[in-house]
Amino acid sequence: MENISSDFAIKVLQEDADRIKLLIRNQTNSLCISQCKAFEEVVDTQMYGFSRQVFFAEKVGILKRGEGQKMLSELETELNRLYTDLYETRQDTTDAGWEA
């Protein structure tokens, strides 16, 4: 079996994290993101799968303890920021509608 470097594992996990971020960014319909249970379930499933990959990488020693948690925390922070941005954009659009 070939040894897997920590750098390679981090690169692969970061690509997965970026894919999850892209999933949210590509949703042009902010109403769907905020009200669509199916979309929330997809994101939750993706996050769960990613967390299991991180846990495994830490458990087998590919990642140092804490590196994976840092990746998860950064992803959750980014996703929260994306959701907040979409919510604020939706609020701005709604507020503008009241003024018209």
Enter the DSSP assignment of 62.
Answer: S
Highest-scoring range by mean pLDDT, 22-26, 60-64, 93-97: 60-64
> What pLDDT does residue 94 have?
60
Backbone phi and psi for residue 41, each to the nearest 5 degrees, phi listed first: -65, -40
pLDDT at residue 83 is higher than 50:
yes
Kindly report, residue by residue over 12-52, the tens digit of the pLDDT: 999 998 988 888 777 655 556 556 677 778 888 888 999 99
> What pLDDT does residue 1 have?
47
What is the value of pTM for the model shown? 0.70
Determine the Cα–Cα distance for residues 57 and 54; give it in Å rounded to an integer. 5
Determine the Cα–Cα distance for residues 20 and 50; give it in Å rounded to an integer. 9
- Higher per-residue pLDDT: 1 or 64: 64
